[in-house]
Chain A
Amino acid sequence: MTKALMDLHDVELAALAAAGGRREFGELVRRHGSAVRALLRRMGAQGAEADDVAQDAFLHAFQKCAEFRGEGTFAAWVKRIAARLYLKRKSKDARYVAEIENEEITPAIDTPGLVDLDEALKSLNETERLCVSLCHGAGLSHPEIAAAMNLPLGTVKSHVKRGLDKLRARLVPEPAQYGRTAHVV
């Protein structure tokens, strides 16, 4: 990897990639690959599936690189592509659960200080996890999530709220109840 390539800004690299620069695009993959993979895992994709979708997302991004204008970050742009690809793949497999389920929230009383978001996300059901990850991880608005998941807007808002309530209970347990405070980092 040349020093010059590493010094270039994402927008410059994307412009070079749009002109067919595969090496420049490789640098973008190196910088943001883990972030995209992590988002897909947080949405519920398993290891190999997450990596497949992440690869597809980057190939998509390479073909559409000219459309990236640098209005947001490159990582956010690819994350949105990846999130939509994953939803498309999932919609072929199963229907989303539209009903709000009553699930027990298990507080993370064994967490000694730092709290792991990935662990906390496991306490959410599949749809809540998707909605929260799309909203706070991929940066989609509630109406965009509703359109992408083919769910009513009100249902999406409920899923996001319930998901955040569960995360809050996991990540920030009441000090009086559990005897210590976990730190959200």
Chain B
Amino acid sequence: MSSDEFDPAIERLFARTPHMQDAPLFTADVQARLESGSRVRTLALTLAGLIGGSVAVRESLHLNLNLSAGDAPVAGKAIGQGIETVSANAQGAVLTAMDQLGMANLSLGSMNGMQLFWLAAAALIALAAAGVMKLSQEA
């Protein structure tokens, strides 16, 4: 057999796939690694969202204080007042609801009701972020 005939023959031999009995196991292993990678990513994103949410809430509280101190420009002051009003309304509504449920004086360790409110808000932001990430991965 000449070289011209042999080269295509070798390529045909390489193209032949031998039957492997553990092929389903191999497929399952790859899928398990894909799933575990996805779980780690989701966990990391959730943690990042949680931390980011907490920082955002903390910063927004600082922002309110700064704006109300009168150092910010007029537009900023107006936005700050708006946020303050919305925040106060939200807090008021939640406090009323908590009061009706008998949880107004609820404290967890050194935290009072308002701190718990902000903590819950941060957790919700983190959960929402994680949910969006999860949905974008599933799509």
Contact = CB atoms under 8 A, between A and B. Distances in A.
Interface of A: 19-20, 22, 25-26, 29-30, 33-35, 37-39, 42, 51, 54-55, 58-59, 62, 117-118, 132-133, 136-137, 164, 167-168, 171-172, 184-185
A38 B18 contact: yes
B26 A51 contact: yes
A114 to B, nearest CB: 11
A51 B33 CA distance: 13
Interface residues of B, number: 31
Given A25-B34, A37-B26, A172 B19 contact: no
Interface of B: 1, 3, 6-7, 9-14, 16-20, 23-24, 26-27, 29-31, 33-35, 37-38, 136-139
A59 B14 contact: no
Contact of B13 (A33, A51, A58, A184): A184
Contact of B26 (A25, A33, A168): A33
Given A22-B38, A34-B26, A117-B13, 19 more contacts: A20-B139, A22-B31, A22-B34, A26-B27, A26-B30, A26-B31, A30-B27, A33-B27, A38-B18, A38-B20, A58-B30, A117-B10, A117-B16, A167-B6, A168-B6, A184-B9, A184-B10, A185-B13, A185-B16
Contacts of B9: 171, 184
